[in-house]
Amino acid sequence: MDVLTLLKSASLLVPEGTASENDLTVDDVWEYLAHDEWEVALGLLEELGDVRPLPAAFWASMAAAAEEMRLERSAAWCHWREGETRHGVIRADLTLYAASDGGRRSPVPGAGVLRPMWDIGHRTPTGEPAYAVARLWLEGAPALEPGGSAPVRLAPLTPELWRHLRPGQVITLHETRPASGTAVLLEVGPPG
């Protein structure tokens, strides 16, 4: 499919009356599409996707369009959001330990490439933590420095292991045996 067709398909999945923070709507998307402003239309559709939950097909069309335009970060973000639609949303405030406190020495990359282990409360038969793996996406930043804090989204490898979690709970980030940070859960949403 071509980019225009993919963006039109995505725009048709946005409910009528949906408006961005700046009062832009699907009508504005169509105006940009009419003038071949595909990248602007893609960005606006991403914003409209933040207003209310949209189906996985919306995000899949968006990801395909971004890939056709060679917008790697946008494509990765749209694939991420498609996954959240299918498996649920987990958002948290992450605080990394400083290197002087035993934390990592380099920044955490922000676009979903890091797949650390998390202590989310499960235990082995001997009482040791049974870690769960989840990819990490930083909201609004390309990287997080050691000792820093930022809102993050998590994409568990095994989503059903995370269903018991609730906002306000604290989970622990592990990249090695000692912990490297903690996260306070902000949102734990079901698929859909």
Domain positions in the chain are 3-87, 89-189
Residue 116: phi and psi, rounded to 5, are -80, 170
Of 77, 89, 172, 178, the residue nearest 132 (C-alpha): 172
DSSP-derived letter for residue 107 is: P
Encoded tokens for 163: 């269903």
Encoded tokens for 98: 């400083």
Q: How confident is the model at residue 165 (pLDDT cuts 50, 70, 90)?
A: very high
Cβ contact 167:62 at 8 Å: no
Q: How confident is the model at residue 43 (pLDDT cuts 50, 70, 90)?
A: very high
Checking if the pLDDT of 1 tops 80, the result is: no
Length of the chain: 192
Checking if the pLDDT of 56 tops 90, the result is: yes
Average pLDDT, integer, range 126-140: 94
Decide which of 192 and 130 is more confident: 130
- Compute the Cα dihedral for 42, 64, 30, 11 and give only its sign: negative
Of 33, 39, 27, the residue nearest 4 (C-alpha): 33
- Compute the Cα dihedral for 86, 69, 23, 17 and give only its sign: negative
Checking if the pLDDT of 102 tops 90, the result is: no
31 SS3 class: helix
Average pLDDT, integer, range 85-93: 95
Checking if the pLDDT of 177 tops 80, the result is: no
**Percentage with pLDDT > 70 across the chain:** 99
For residue 17, CA distances in Å to 7, 8, 12, 24, 45 come to 18, 17, 12, 10, 14
Residue 168 burial (C-beta neighbours within 10 Å; 0-12, 13-18, 19+): exposed
Average pLDDT, integer, range 91-120: 92
Task: Say whether pTM exceeds 0.85.
Answer: yes
Average pLDDT, integer, range 32-53: 94
The fold adopted by the segment(s) 89-189 is Elongation Factor Tu (Ef-tu); domain 3 (2.40.30)
Q: What is the CA radius of gyration of the chain?
A: 18
